[in-house]
Homo-oligomer: A and B are copies of this chain.
């Protein structure tokens, strides 16, 4: 695996600003590594709700997270504003691979970036199902060629 390099903002299709929180900082004064994943599922689900592709508690199908990963390039710290960028790089029959770039304040290069893979399942049986049509059309808005 080659060493990842920070992506620019132009690699992402949808952005959500997220206020960092006091408790996001760890003892070293920087955002804790785990907290970046809270930004990941926040931008993914905010996008899905905005596009009417997710209704919490009532959707018949739900996305289960099966794989995540993140590379960290530079620190961010409270009270920075995070801008979480989102794109889709792969869709399967029942899965979607999102990629997320985390940008700090006005920085143009990601301070961290990673991936987040959803497998869609029936909300009751938890068996894989085909991606719902409203989701598939929402995902078209997130297609970006990786730099």
Contacts and interface: CB of A to CB of B under 8 A. Distances in A.
Interface of A: 16-19, 21-23, 25-29, 32-35, 37-42, 44-46, 49-50, 56-57, 62, 64-72, 77-79
A70 B72 contact: no
A71 B67 contact: yes
Contacts of A67: 69-72
Copies of this chain, complex-wide, total 4
B34 A23 contact: yes
Nearest to A123: B28
Contacts of A23: 26, 32, 34-35, 38, 41-42
Given A18-B21, A71-B67, A33 B27 contact: no
Contacts of A38: 21-23, 34
Shortest 3 CB-CB distances between A and B: which pairs?
A69-B69, A34-B37, A33-B65
A54 B39 CA distance: 26
